[in-house]
Amino acid sequence: MQKFIGAMNTKGAGKGVFITSSSFTKTAVDEASKAQLMKVVLIDSENSVSYLLITT
């Protein structure tokens, strides 16, 4: 997650989406929530169906 947020910062991105077919560790979730001035959306196997249903 730190590398993803670092890459976002390098490119000047204000938001990003990180998708996994498994689940995120508590540390990854904490890092994503602490990303300053950035919105990081985490999509894992538990909530991926919810996102698909919302967008269809």
Which tokens belong to 24? 């995120």
pLDDT tens per residue across span 1-43: 999 999 999 999 999 999 998 999 999 999 999 998 999 999 9
Contact 45, 21 (CB under 8 A): yes
Cα(10)–Cα(55) distance, integer angstroms? 29
State the pLDDT confidence band at 50, using cuts at 50, 70 and 90: confident
Cα(56)–Cα(3) distance, integer angstroms? 31
50 or 43, higher pLDDT: 43
